[in-house]
């Protein structure tokens, strides 16, 4: 049986407002096994972004529990949380979050600058990550000069460079055309095939269906949690 990587029980998140608290998440429970490909779906305001922030250690719940590989978020200091994020998690965002005036190499190298890895090994890791997304010829091009699809592939390489167990992809095809979107989803599928846990947050059904399982969030609660029925079709069909 696969190891449980993420365990959420009765998770709750409230934001204090002047008149009354706003409940973003209420009684959310699920588990994700190491190596799973899971989509978290929901409309705007459903709570899926709040859930992503908690799962990726950017925020803390106000109730319930969250354990990442057996360690409770409430048992870790902010420094410990940052260490886990840097070593075991990779992040891909809709807006890419690249530094446009830095080269592809420099952008991908950023997560390694906080480690004690020797320069030669650091360079090897950067080149390997960039190779994995097929952008070797762009290695020393400024990120701002790339197309949207190329920028997202650089963002994936940056997420991969620390060889994380878990990759969080937040609306990764939201700003891309159909061809670029298909390329990004192909890369995420290959990462899953190599054993990475992939958690995809999206509001798009056709993107979510690349996963093996879809957790639907509505009004801050889990509406459904079901396996995806796989249908044979080309990736570009999803984006037409």
Domains by residue range for the chain, with CATH: 4-238 (3.40.50.300)
Q: Which two tokens stand for residue 166?
A: 């878990």
Note the pLDDT of residue 170.
92
pLDDT < 50: residue spans in the chain: 232-234
Residue with tokens 């204090």: 16
Task: Please give the pLDDT value at position 232.
Answer: 47
Cβ-proximal residues to 28 (8 Å cutoff; 6+ apart), any chain: 8, 10, 11, 12, 47, 51, 64, 217, 220, 221, 222
Contact between 153 and 183 (Cβ < 8 Å): yes
Quick one: pLDDT at residue 50?
93
Q: What are phi and psi of 56, to 5 degrees?
A: -100, 15
Residue-wise DSSP of 33-101:
ETT-EEEEE--TTSSHHHHHHHHTTSS--SEEEEEETTEEGGGS-HHHHHHHHHHHEEEEETT----TT
**Residue 233 pLDDT:** 46
| Longest Cα–Cα distance in the chain | 56
Measured distance CA(3)–CA(160) in Å, rounded: 21
């Amino acid at each position: 049986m696969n190891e449980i990587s993420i365990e959420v029980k009765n998770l709750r998140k409230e934001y204090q407002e002047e008149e009354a608290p706003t409940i973003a998440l209420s009684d959310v429970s699920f588990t994700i096994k190491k190596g799973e490909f899971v989509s978290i779906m929901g409309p705007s305001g459903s709570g899926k972004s709040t859930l992503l922030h908690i799962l990726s250690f950017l925020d803390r719940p106000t109730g319930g529990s969250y354990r990442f590989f057996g360690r409770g978020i409430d048992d870790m200091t902010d420094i410990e949380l940052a260490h886990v994020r840097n070593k075991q998690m990779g992040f891909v965002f809709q807006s890419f979050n690249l530094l446009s005036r830095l080269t592809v190499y420099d952008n991908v190298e950023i997560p390694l600058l906080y480690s004690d890895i020797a320069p030669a090994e650091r360079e090897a890791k950067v080149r390997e990550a960039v190779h994995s997304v097929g952008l070797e010829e762009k290695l020393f091009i400024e990120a701002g000069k790339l197309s949207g699809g190329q920028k997202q592939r650089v963002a994936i390489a940056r997420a991969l460079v620390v060889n994380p167990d878990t990759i969080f992809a937040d609306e990764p095809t939201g700003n891309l055309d159909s061809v670029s979107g298909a390329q990004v989803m192909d890369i995420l599928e290959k990462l899953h095939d190599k054993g990475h846990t992939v958690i995809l947050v999206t509001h798009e059904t056709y993107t979510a269906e690349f996963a093996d399982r879809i957790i639907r969030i509505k009004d801050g609660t889990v509406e459904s949690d079901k396996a995806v029925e796989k249908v044979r079709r080309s990736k570009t069909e999803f984006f037409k």
